[in-house]
């Protein structure tokens, strides 16, 4: 069984990295509450890390308030700890199995922190895209070495992979610039 080169698959995987990045950016809110703002938080639950939304219900009762209803009473402390230790800077107040998180008005320092987090997400997305590029180029080199692809095809398809990579990185940079503008807008 010989592997085949599929540029569409490489582009699809790069788009996956971009979609994941856009989702992460969506969790960075600019002074308004949003249920996905807590999506990146992982809770140490039952001996493993789980997404917050798998141990609690997250709702937005007011524009500047998030409510977290923990399903299992024994998980309340772990959820509270995960929220406090996240890089989002929230300080939940707990009543029973319900936590309320006030979304503070964004000051200049907080906005700059959010921009840093957005840049970190962008770099992770760029790295993911570059990994897909490396996988594609490695496969092409292997196919050429095994005699399934000519030297000319290798070069042409390598250029296509690089073009897809450049386009994906450009898309990431544009989304980052738009989010940075949104965050810094007072």
Rounded distance, CA 54 to CA 42, Å?
9
pLDDT reported for residue 186 = 63
pTM over 0.85: no
83 touches 90 (CB < 8 A): yes
Give the position of tokens 């959010």. 114
Please give the C-alpha separations between residue 21 and each of 44, 90, 98, 175, 185, in angstroms, as whole numbers: 24, 22, 30, 9, 21
Per-residue confidence (pLDDT) for residue 31, from 0 to 100: 64
Q: Which residues of the chain have pLDDT under 70?
A: 1-3, 29-32, 186
- Identify whether the C-beta of residue 76 lies closer than 8 Å to the C-beta of residue 64: no
Of 169, 127, 170, 159, give the one whose Cα is nearest residue 7: 159
Cβ burial of 5 (10 Å; 0-12, 13-18, 19+) is: buried
Q: Cα–Cα distance between 140 and 3 in angstroms, integer?
A: 10
| pLDDT tens digits along 25-69 | 877 766 667 777 888 888 988 889 999 889 999 998 888 889 999
pLDDT number for residue 88: 76
Question: Which pLDDT belongs to residue 172?
Answer: 96
Q: Which domains does the chain have, with CATH numbers?
A: 7-24+107-184 (1.10.132.20), 31-102 (3.30.1360.40)
């Amino acid at each position: 069984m010989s592997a085949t080169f599929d540029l569409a698959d490489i582009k699809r995987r790069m788009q996956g990295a971009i979609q994941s990045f856009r989702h992460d950016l969506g969790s960075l809110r600019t002074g308004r509450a949003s249920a996905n703002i807590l999506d990146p938080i992982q809770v140490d639950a039952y001996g493993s890390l789980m997404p917050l939304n798998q141990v609690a219900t997250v709702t937005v009762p007011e524009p500047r308030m998030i409510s977290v209803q923990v399903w299992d009473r024994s998980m309340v402390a772990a959820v509270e700890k995960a929220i406090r230790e996240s890089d989002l800077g929230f300080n939940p107040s707990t009543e029973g199995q319900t936590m309320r998180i006030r979304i503070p008005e964004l000051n200049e320092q907080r906005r700059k922190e959010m921009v840093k987090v957005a840049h970190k997400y962008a770099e992770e997305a760029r790295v993911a895209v570059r990994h897909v590029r490396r996988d594609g180029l490695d496969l092409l080199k292997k196919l050429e070495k095994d005699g399934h692809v000519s030297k000319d095809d290798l070069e042409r398809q390598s250029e296509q992979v690089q073009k897809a990579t450049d386009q994906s990185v450009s898309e990431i940079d544009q989304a980052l610039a738009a989010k940075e503008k949104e965050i810094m807008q007072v």
